[in-house]
Structure 1
Amino acid sequence: MTLVWGKPRQPPLGSEEWATFLDSEGRVMDAKAFKTRIFYGGVEHTIRREVWPFLLGYHAYDSTYAEREYLKSTKKSAYETVRQQWQSISTEQAKRFTKFRERKSLIDKDVVRTDRALPFYDGDDNPNVNILRDILLTYSFYNFDLGYCQGMSDLLSPILFVMEDESESFWCFVALMERLGPNFNRDQNGMHSQLFALSKLVELLDSPLHNYFKQNDCLNYFFCFRWVLIQFKREFEYKKTMRLWEVLWTHYLSEHLHLYVCVAILKRYRNKIIGEHMDFDTLLKFTNELSGHIDLDAILRDAEALCICAGENGAARIPPGTPPSLPIESENAFLYAQDDEVL
């Protein structure tokens, strides 16, 4: 393949530059340029609360300030309606509601160990931990079929940290789960399809590594399971995770850029993996221990280059419907259509 280099990373998008993307009524005038800018630099934390709802598909790019305020108001009411459903369950009713007790118990256990080292979630009786729990319980009633699975608290935590509003965090989480919900299906089809696509991309982009995995019974790629499931949440420090996520959410180049990030990491450590004759168990331990030791900017440049190199051949190796496969435009239409819905 032709050698391609990823473009240099840029400083994050700041408030003054963000204002230049908006018209007088608050519409994003050039969504493509906006997403490209974020892909190469991310977003300053001070404006993430404004920008993330666009990237997640909660706000439409052509929505006005007034429309977004109206949406916020109606969505808050809708959120409170769903939250009241589980808050109104009495102790006697809970005794006869096994599914609710199981989900509540799992959420209670998970939230008290989610990002507690951060000041935002630190300490006993932290109100933000309680809000995290309430949002997850409410989501388990909003999407009762999917409910709650371990890992969801990891995905919600940065959203609540950024949005600092219970209702807005909930709806941004709903928008994210429209994309990543299949990761938590009990049949694991969503995860299997992504790991299968990853194996095909490694076969295309690094045949020596693919052949090594094939010879050593590692083609299930389960050693990348955590990376894909919660989008590298535990591989980077909190600030870098947020920057990576906003880059992935742009869907610039590919909606499956996270798979190219996986390839980039594996490719970077290929010589070590092969040179040390790692079997599956050793490989799983090795990938887990990479947490905190990956150069995000370098990996993003590599992933961009690999995605460009793979081109249509790469896209063809990702089966249709592989998560996240919901177009942003569809999410906008879905969410705005819900404005007046009584839940």
Structure 2
Amino acid sequence: MWRSDNGEPADSYYEIRPECIDDVPKTRFKIKAGKTLSVRKWQAAFNPDGYLDIGKTLSRIQRGGIHPAIRGEVWEFLLGCYDPNSSTEERNQIRQRRRVQYNTWKEVCHQLFPLIGSGKFITAPVITEEGQPIQDPLVLLETNPGNGAVIPPPDNAAPLTSDAATNLERVTDKRIIQWMLTLHQIGLDVLRTDRTLVFYEKQENLAKLWDILAVYAWVDTDVGYCQGMSDLCSPMIMLLDDEGDAFWCFERLMRRLRGNFRCTDSSVGVESQLSTLASITQVLDPKLHEHLEHLGGGDYLFAFRMLMVLFRREFSFCDSLYLWEMMWALEYDPDLFMMYEEPDSDCEKPEELKRKAKSKSQCGKYERDKLKNHSEAPLPISVFLVASVLKDKSAKLLTEARGLDDVVKILNDMTGNLDAKKACTGAMKLHKKYLKKVPKKSSSTEHSS
């Protein structure tokens, strides 16, 4: 465990509801002078025109994470929202264009379902799979507390007015039907997301989360909305004041992870990563892999949640953010911005944003290792994080796990007891060890999503 003495605690930035304090794990993340990326160091990383020295920033994040006061704006760079080799003016133009785009999409959604953008949201279905509005009195009762009745949280988060419900007409457009079918599920998940935080005691913050997820579900017609996305989006709402900025930060994260949520009748998107995890464990810890296969866990589905929502349930809220930013700093690819910009964007890209040859000094440490080993289809660090967790628990799993229920229990017992920095360090070590044991040609054929 890394030492945390003399460090400023970060819990105060993500206040826990008093009645929940005893039920949530304490954060291990401490703000450390000289290690954590501070407000002063972050501001000093920009030149007068606004160009960012991303290399020094990455090394600082890898050592001690990001100060919560600047976490949101740093994440925008880590996730590829903005190119470090851009000026302040260029970024302002991009930011404004994206806010306009988000508001345009949100207005389309509002026209389809007026509660979008109203500061309210629903938890009851309002339409059938055939497109018929649901007029069941029980549904209307749930979606319309009405008459000024005081209903304690979380029930007060389903305030669809009776007019909004009864005025719905039959829908025939399949895309609209599919989207409207997800709205109540998004509402239910919003109520379950980070409810221990004081931040989500405010109706307006719950509604903002619902709005962003509803708009994303409308825009991403391939994946739409799936459970787990609210866990990924929630921090963005807290870290970025502008709803449009929060949306685009979430959208960039989903570009990395949306493959996890793409499901068919025969498979789920995260299965390829679980298969990769099995291969890694077989190479690095063959005894454990053989034991897990013997128990019927050779598909590694017990690690499904860790990969799907990036360890949000295994760490405290604050520590999960710390883990994410270390992962993104380690994996940082300076080509992210150009890869993520749409080729048919309405706005011409400034010539200054066209990137020159990739510089290793601008890459994260994990990305540099991949470049060094000429890995064409790199494995995500998240898979090695899970492998690192399994390695740490290998002896316990080998001696105590007599069935899959035991495996799940042993892994669940880790919740709140994991060290984010230690996990990342372990993942990096396993990655190097794996690359040495597996031929480069073989590793380049692995798929990350």
Smaller-chain TM-score range? Answer: 0.7 to 0.9
Q: Which runs of 5+ in 2 are unaligned?
A: 3-31, 114-166, 332-363, 368-378
- Separation in structure 2 between the aligned mates of residue 153 and residue 26 of structure 1, nearest angstrom: 33
Q: Which residue identity lines up with residue 219 of structure 1 in the other structure? A: G
Pairwise mapping of residues 201-220 of structure 1 onto structure 2 (< 5 A)? 201-220=280-299
Q: Which residue identity lines up with residue 204 of structure 1 in the other structure? A: V
- Separation in structure 2 between the aligned mates of residue 42 and residue 161 of structure 1, nearest angstrom: 17
SS at match of 2:426: helix
Q: Which residue identity lines up with residue 287 of structure 2 in the other structure? A: P
Alignment match of 2:197 (pick from 107, 111, 118): 118
Q: Which residue of 2 aligns with 1:322?
A: 448
Q: Which residue of 1 aligns with 2:51?
A: 27
Structure 1 contact 110–150 (Cα < 8 Å) conserved = yes
Q: Which residue of 1 aligns with 2:432?
A: 308
The reply on whether 1:222 has 2:301 as its aligned counterpart is: yes
Q: Which residue of 1 aligns with 2:86?
A: 63
Q: Deviations over 1:274-332 (max 9, x none)?
A: 11133222212332332212122322222222222223546744744413xxxxxxxxx
- Separation in structure 2 between the aligned mates of residue 94 and residue 69 of structure 1, nearest angstrom: 42
Q: Which residue identity lines up with residue 235 of structure 1 in the other structure? A: E
- Separation in structure 1 between the aligned mates of residue 59 and residue 276 of structure 2, nearest angstrom: 25
The reply on whether 1:41 has 2:70 as its aligned counterpart is: no
Give 1:260 shift: 1.2
Q: Which residue of 2 aligns with 1:246?
A: 325
The reply on whether 1:138 has 2:215 as its aligned counterpart is: yes
Alignment match of 2:96 (pick from 73, 84, 89): 73
The reply on whether 1:258 has 2:382 as its aligned counterpart is: yes
Structure 1 contact 155–230 (Cα < 8 Å) conserved = yes
Instruction: Between the two structures, name the one with larger relative contact order (CA 8 Å, sep ≥ 6).
Output: 1
Q: How does the TM-score come out when normalised to structure 2?
A: 0.66
Q: Which residue of 2 aligns with 1:328?
A: none
Alignment match of 1:177 (pick from 254, 271, 279): 254
Structure 2 contact 261–269 (Cα < 8 Å) conserved = yes
- If each structure's helix is expressed as a fraction of its own residues, which one has the higher value? 1
- Separation in structure 2 between the aligned mates of residue 262 and residue 43 of structure 1, nearest angstrom: 23
- Separation in structure 1 between the aligned mates of residue 170 and residue 411 of structure 2, nearest angstrom: 41
Highest CA radius of gyration, 1 or 2? 2
Structure 1 contact 202–209 (Cα < 8 Å) conserved = yes
* Paired residue total: 314
- Separation in structure 1 between the aligned mates of residue 447 and residue 55 of structure 2, nearest angstrom: 23
Q: Which residue identity lines up with residue 212 of structure 1 in the other structure? A: H
- Separation in structure 1 between the aligned mates of residue 312 and residue 282 of structure 2, nearest angstrom: 26
Q: Which residue of 2 aligns with 1:280?
A: 404
Alignment match of 2:417 (pick from 287, 293, 299): 293
Structure 1 contact 199–221 (Cα < 8 Å) conserved = yes
SS at match of 1:112: helix
- Separation in structure 2 between the aligned mates of residue 72 and residue 207 of structure 1, nearest angstrom: 49
- Separation in structure 2 between the aligned mates of residue 313 and residue 163 of structure 1, nearest angstrom: 43
Give 1:94 shift: 6.3
Change in Cα spacing, 1:177 to 1:192, as seen in structure 2 (3 Å) is: same
- Separation in structure 2 between the aligned mates of residue 289 and residue 319 of structure 1, nearest angstrom: 35
Change in Cα spacing, 1:218 to 1:114, as seen in structure 2 (3 Å) is: same
Give 1:138 shift: 0.5
- Range 66-75 or range 207-216, more displaced: 207-216
Structure 2 contact 49–88 (Cα < 8 Å) conserved = yes
Structure 1 contact 94–100 (Cα < 8 Å) conserved = no
- Separation in structure 2 between the aligned mates of residue 177 and residue 108 of structure 1, nearest angstrom: 19
Q: Which residue identity lines up with residue 399 of structure 2 in the other structure? A: G
Q: Which runs of 5+ in 1 are unaligned?
A: 1-5, 324-343
- Range 275-284 or range 67-76, more displaced: 275-284
SS at match of 2:217: helix
Structure 2 contact 223–262 (Cα < 8 Å) conserved = yes
- Range 274-283 or range 66-75, more displaced: 274-283
Change in Cα spacing, 1:176 to 1:302, as seen in structure 2 (3 Å) is: same
Alignment match of 1:14 (pick from 14, 19, 38): 38
Q: CA RMSD for the aligned pairs?
A: 2.2
Structure 1 contact 193–319 (Cα < 8 Å) conserved = no
- Separation in structure 2 between the aligned mates of residue 40 and residue 57 of structure 1, nearest angstrom: 21
- Separation in structure 2 between the aligned mates of residue 43 and residue 94 of structure 1, nearest angstrom: 49
Structure 1 contact 190–322 (Cα < 8 Å) conserved = no
- Separation in structure 2 between the aligned mates of residue 94 and residue 131 of structure 1, nearest angstrom: 27
SS at match of 1:121: helix
Structure 2 contact 288–398 (Cα < 8 Å) conserved = yes
The reply on whether 1:86 has 2:140 as its aligned counterpart is: no
Give 1:220 shift: 0.4
